[in-house]
Amino acid sequence: MARIRWLTRTSRIVALCSAANFINSADRVIMPIAIVPMTDIFQWSLHAQGWILSAFAFGYFTSQILGSFWASKLGAKNVLICSVLLWSIATFVTPFLAHSLTALVICRIVLGFAEGLGLPTIFHLFAHSIPVEERSRAFSYLLASGSVGQTVASVLCPHLTWDACFYWFGSFGFIWVSLWYFVYPEDAFSSEDTIPLHMPKVISRSIRWADFILSKPLWAIYVAHFAMNWSSYIIMQWLPTYLARYLGGNAHSLSLTSVPYIVNSIFGVISGHVADGLLLKNWSVLNVRRLMTSVGLVGPALFLAIFCVVDHLPFAVVLVSISMGLSACNSAGHLSNHVDVAPNYAGTTFAISNTIATIPGILCGPVTASLVTAFDGKWMTVFLGATFVNLMGAFIYFTNSVATQVL
């Protein structure tokens, strides 16, 4: 079968991984939008909505390290194909299970488990296929594709029936699997990755699991990732509900939830090019990582603090969009720092980091519901809490990060 020849093999794998992340990210924002009309139908309480939204994170939490381990043992391409197929099935069958809260929560857990396999597997591929001088751009394109997926879902879903959202986006995953076979027809299930690898020239030594847990520079990354995700999960899970229930937005106004993701994707690509440009101007890798992480955490913290006291819907969308845009700078900051400090184990360190950073996704559903209920429908404590977490994460990363190999 003919192959796509106008891209290099490395470019094709970046493109395919970015497409997978597009679908991954789109599928996870369908429920936060669809839950508004679904609640009108099924009469779920705010706490029930919180558990539905957080169920995804329970599954996502359990599969991060498994994704890294399976990518090494079974072949990253095999794991990625199975991951996309499973999360697409879970997305597609969601409308059939919506009448049962228990079945819906289980389905959301399965969706999270399958999607959790994706990024560690992709990081495994990127750590071995992208030269150091191109990594910031590669990670930026990868994360920007996720923002584009969230944007597309946020634009389309308010204009579709809630069940059609799950059918359409679930089908995209099936198309991706077919596309993979078109690009790599003869080796799609080989046990070894046959993609040409640019192996990092690093010193290899015996590594223990304790090394991943006891390293201060790695914990700087883990904490920064946790802080970034605390804000991101709140916005992803609750922004449609906040706009609809607190700021009086209608169904069509929910399309405005796409704006933060558009800004995020644009900022993500720009920040990657800026970071690589600074490296070419002889900035140290450490200074670039610290600068981008500081902008990616402190900036969103300040804009979320203002966002929580605004009651004008368009202005609120502008503020949260700037916050999400600045957050994208983390892709060239602590997220790229994995391949600096652990070039041979970037998939594993990212899996651990993303596991820890999934805790906010588990907590922010019930915690947000409890805070809003306790403060008579006011959301200020929710967003000020996110501001505090971001500022602490930036401080810890800045004072403890390194850009030299530790594993």
- Which domains are seen in the chain, by residue range? 9-184+210-400 (1.20.1250.20)
Q: What pLDDT is recorded for position 202? A: 46
Residues contacting 65, CB < 8 A, separation 6+ = 120, 348, 351, 352, 355
Task: Give ∠ CA 255-260-266 in degrees, rounded to 5.
Answer: 120
29 close to 236: Cβ distance less than 8 angstroms: yes
**Predicted confidence (pLDDT) at residue 270 exceeds the cutoff of 60:** yes
Query: Residues 392, 255: contact at Cβ < 8 Å?
Result: no
- Cα–Cα distances (Å) from 178 to 24, 121, 185, 282, in that order, read 16, 19, 10, 43
Residues 30-76: pLDDT tens digits?
Answer: 999 999 899 999 999 888 998 999 899 889 888 877 877 787 778 77
The span from the CA of 381 to the CA of 374, in Å, is: 10
Higher-confidence residue of 209 and 366: namely 366
Q: What is the dihedral of CA 262, 263, 265, 266, to 10 degrees?
A: 120
- Flag the least confident range among 168-177, 235-244, 276-285, 344-353: 344-353
Q: Which residue has the higher pLDDT, 109 or 12?
A: 109
Position 100, amino acid: S
Lowest mean pLDDT among 48-57, 158-167, 254-263, 371-380: 254-263
Name the average pLDDT for the chain: 85
pLDDT single digits (tens) 316-361:
999 999 999 999 999 899 998 998 998 888 778 887 898 899 899 8
Q: Is the pTM of this model over 0.85?
A: no
Distance between CA atoms of 153 and 142, rounded to whole angstroms? 17
> Which helix (H) or strand (E) segment is 217 a member of?
helix 216-241
Would you state the pLDDT for residue 185?
A: 60
pLDDT over threshold 50, residue 195 = no
Arithmetic mean of pLDDT, 376-391:
92
% pLDDT > 70, the chain:
89
Cβ-contact 165, 240 below 8 angstroms: no
Residue 203's pLDDT is 47
**Is residue 75 left, alpha or beta, with left meaning phi > 0 and alpha meaning psi from -120 to 50?**
left
SS3 205: coil
Answer yes or no: is pLDDT of 10 > 70. Answer: no
What does the alpha-carbon distance between residue 332 and residue 329 come to, in Å, rounded to a whole number? Answer: 6
Predicted local distance difference test score (pLDDT) of residue 191: 42
The pLDDT value recorded for residue 272 is 84
- Look up tokens 């669809």; give the residue: 34
Terminal C-alpha separation, the chain: 42
Q: Give how far the C-alpha of residue 350 lies from the chain's centroid of Cα atoms, to the nearest Å.
A: 12
- For position 257, what pLDDT does the model report? 82
DSSP label at 256?
A: G
pLDDT tens for residues 113-144?
Answer: 999 888 878 877 777 666 666 666 777 788 77
| pLDDT score recorded for residue 67 | 78
DSSP labels for 87-132? HHHHHHHHHHHTT-HHHHHHHHHHHHHHHHTHHHHHHHHHHHHS-G
> Which of the two residues, 334 and 246, has the higher pLDDT score?
334
pLDDT band at 184 (very low <50, low <70, confident <90, very high): low
| CA–CA separation, 111 and 117 (whole Å) | 10
Q: How far apart are CA 11 and CA 126, in angstroms?
A: 11
Q: Token digits for 97?
A: 């299970």
User: Rounded CA gap, 259 and 262, in Å?
Assistant: 5
- Cα–Cα distance for residue pair 231/382, rounded to 1 Å: 10
The Cα–Cα gap between 22 and 19 comes to 5
CB-CB contact of 147 with 60 (8 Å): no
Whether the per-residue pLDDT at 247 is higher than 60: the answer is yes
Q: Is 350 exposed, middle or buried (0-12, 13-18, 19+ CB in 10 A)?
A: buried
The confidence score (pLDDT) of residue 197 equals: 40
